[in-house]
Structure 1
């Protein structure tokens, strides 16, 4: 029976430095060429059982082992580690390095060169160096497209990882950094109540079209005008009863705007939606429903629909 190789406990779950493991006597150079280990980056390995090509955290842990002093996981990868996943499929790890660092290019690393101050850096409990929440928001605001940047900052605000005041202060105290004007222009557009990137994009479309700013995550309650006079105070039509919370709303015209993701196609969700929309219609609300295709590819028609609805109810 072939002998099963002993796997050091320290190397079972996370990426590690190959030369460091050899120096510590945990493995030999020959061991690292065997099937038990997967090479992720130069001199960085992980046990084959712990390898998952789609695990971005694993790749961040691997990249962290290559970071020089003053370097950090940043941008979309830092946002991911903070709990905001906006990464495209098979995204490289985004890292920021001092200007003097010139690593060899690698397809799983996206490198930016900026000077990070001590106030820009922190570490997770796992030891990964990454940019702080406010620096992460600042970098995303100046590096992503305008719509993606609004969605990213919205998400950080929504998860209470960031306060608008903190980002405003950071922008004001770093006026000399490239891209600061871009981030300053985003500040009036971001919204902590936004619950999804597509909702953020939809709100930005309405703003750019010159339409009034809708209220996000608006709670609709039955108004006295919509309450039958014969209804009991504790009846189903009592004034002030909660009806629904909608993505965006123009309360002055009783127009609700909803983004419909794929989860709305599930049977249980679809049934709840039908009941919900019927309740809103009975209360005098017009509900406009849009999909990703409307937001991304049919935006002109979307704007016409909203503009027409406002005109009809004005």
Structure 2
């Protein structure tokens, strides 16, 4: 079995401290990572962390931090099983080591997640992995070698939808809803040249034209990105940016926030309403992508 010592995308090992570090999701990520270290210290048999736990160790974005620790072992262990550890049979042909933890490759990690997780959860991980060097064709090759049919169609769909331009889990969520509606594939981080410079829009359908963005509230909070950070200044700058985009293209981005996730049908209606009648008429909900 080949072993490589790897560095995570953040290059420092542990996730960097920053805004939102005390939020519940970050606390759950920290607990899940600590649990992986504890499990690793208790085991003597060969093992490799996998699935959502591997994504966590790789420091990839997660829609939901894992509630259990996933690992691969050569065979099923005997005796009583721990409820907070899921053991998958079979060690990978090769693996890496990140901060002392044996972990599946980036490609195998994404594939394992795509085969077993809901599509949105897996897509968030795949998007993040693409931004950090995931080899998509190599992942598809691994999928082609999977013998069991369970999850293969879903995994292929996730790999087809994956895009490296999403810069947050919420941007992936917005693109996921657009895909579920049956809308054309958007351009990610679409560049717009304005009199103030070049701005990038999260999702764009320039041929229609439609622009959509996820707007996180944290950037309008004083101190969110350092002691001297001004939320009011950020709000003013965002208004200037939006005005410049509207002046350049003749259309304003439609904005969505985390609170909109409570009513995804309303998000779908608002987004669909921006498109011309022929696109709306052709759109069909993809039932393979559940809300």
Bigger CA drift: 248-257 or 56-65?
56-65
Question: Scaled by the length of structure 2, what TM-score is found?
Answer: 0.74
Structure 1 spans left out of the alignment, 5+ residues: 1-51, 223-235
Partner of 2:102: 129
Partner of 1:199: 171
Inter-CA distance 139–89: structure 2 relative to 1 (3 Å threshold): closer
RMSD: 2.7
Partner of 1:290: 256
Matched, 1:66 2:31: no
Secondary structure at the counterpart of residue 155 of structure 1 = helix
- Matches of residues 154-173 of structure 1 in structure 2 within 5 Å? 154-160=127-133, 162-173=134-145
CA distance in 2, matches of 1:299, 1:88: 18
CA distance in 1, matches of 2:235, 2:63: 28
- Matches of residues 95-174 of structure 1 in structure 2 within 5 Å? 95-102=71-78, 104-106=80-82, 109-119=84-94, 121-124=95-98, 126-160=99-133, 162-174=134-146
Does the 8 A contact of 2:74 with 2:89 survive in 1?
yes
Inter-CA distance 184–93: structure 2 relative to 1 (3 Å threshold): same
CA distance in 2, matches of 1:142, 1:128: 23
Partner of 1:261: 216
Decide which structure has the larger Cα Rg and report it: 1
* Superposition deviation, residue 265 in structure 1: 2.7
Partner of 1:79: 55
Give per-residue Cα distances to partners, 1:153-195, cap 9 Å, x unaligned: 11111122x1111111111223446433321222211111111
CA distance in 1, matches of 2:207, 2:173: 23
Inter-CA distance 209–103: structure 2 relative to 1 (3 Å threshold): farther
Secondary structure at the counterpart of residue 65 of structure 1 = helix
> Which of 181, 187, 205 is residue 250 of structure 1 equivalent to?
205
* Superposition deviation, residue 250 in structure 1: 1.3
* Larger RCO (CA under 8 A, 6+ residues apart): 2
Inter-CA distance 166–145: structure 2 relative to 1 (3 Å threshold): same
Question: Scaled by the length of structure 1, what TM-score is found?
Answer: 0.69
In the alignment of these two chains, the number of paired residues is: 241
CA distance in 1, matches of 2:160, 2:63: 24
Does the 8 A contact of 2:212 with 2:255 survive in 1?
yes
CA distance in 1, matches of 2:29, 2:165: 34
